[in-house]
Amino acid sequence: MRAYQDMVYSTAVRLVKNEAQAEDISQEVFLKAHEHFDNLASSPTAGGWLKTVATNLSLNHLSRYRNRWRFFSEFRREDGGSETDQPEVEFAAPDTFFADVDAEDRRQLVEEALAKLPEHQRVPLVLFHFEDMPYEEIARKLRVSLAKVKTDILRARAALAQILARSGARAEHFNS
């Protein structure tokens, strides 16, 4: 458990964007691992199994609670814009953005930026870039079209780059 707890927790928190819920999901993952201990104890793929279970439980959690709140989200969007206001192109962060940032600060900046993305963009982006899941599998797990997955990831990258650029501009302003 100690060898995998950080990986399981970070997988869950990236997807559900809530530390308490990620802790609950992590506990559930390790309860399932305990149930399958005989198979996992000597398995070289135990880490992959745990990551898959963490991902699936996180997605189940999101779909369970998404339906509960969907009614309210249909009335307004937080940013006041419409879905068509989202950028259609991918904006890359400047190559120098992370030049003076150590690995831990870089990880923290990315985690904070990910937390600001809307769920429909954050989840496929995390699954694709952090969980190395192919587009087709993401579409199947999220029960959406392949085109929606690709569009959401594209828009999430653009939004993430903009958030990071704003964070970098604020950091430069405070450091000067």
Q: Which of 21-25, 39-43, 90-94, 162-166 has the highest mean pLDDT?
A: 21-25
pLDDT given for residue 96 in this prediction: 43
Q: Which option is the CATH number for 86-175: 1.10.287.3510, 1.10.3720.10, 1.10.287.130, 1.10.10.10?
A: 1.10.10.10
* Residue that is written with structure tokens 């990880």 in the block: 107
Residue bearing the bigger pLDDT, 110 or 83: 110
> In CATH terms, is domain 5-73 a member of 1.10.1740?
yes
- Whether the pLDDT of residue 175 is over 70: the answer is no
Percentage of the chain exceeding pLDDT 70 = 72
pLDDT-derived band of residue 163, with 50, 70 and 90 as boundaries? Answer: confident
Across the chain, what does the average pLDDT equal?
Answer: 76
Residue bearing the bigger pLDDT, 58 or 170: 58
CATH 1.10.10.10 intervals, the chain:
86-175
Q: How many CA atoms lie within 13 A of 70 on its CB side?
A: 8
Q: Among 15-19, 56-60, 63-67, 83-87, which is the least confidently predicted range?
A: 83-87
CATH 1.10.1740 intervals, the chain:
5-73
pLDDT tens per residue across span 147-157? 999 999 999 98
DSSP letters along 82-138, please? Answer: -GGGS-SSPPPPPTTTTTT--HHHHHHHHHHHHHHS-HHHHHHHHHHHTS---HHHH
pLDDT tens per residue across span 95-116? 444 445 556 677 788 888 888 9
What is the reported pTM? 0.55
Q: Closest by alpha carbon to 17, among 121, 166, 119, 120? A: 119
pLDDT given for residue 7 in this prediction: 93
pLDDT-derived band of residue 84, with 50, 70 and 90 as boundaries? Answer: very low
pLDDT given for residue 146 in this prediction: 93
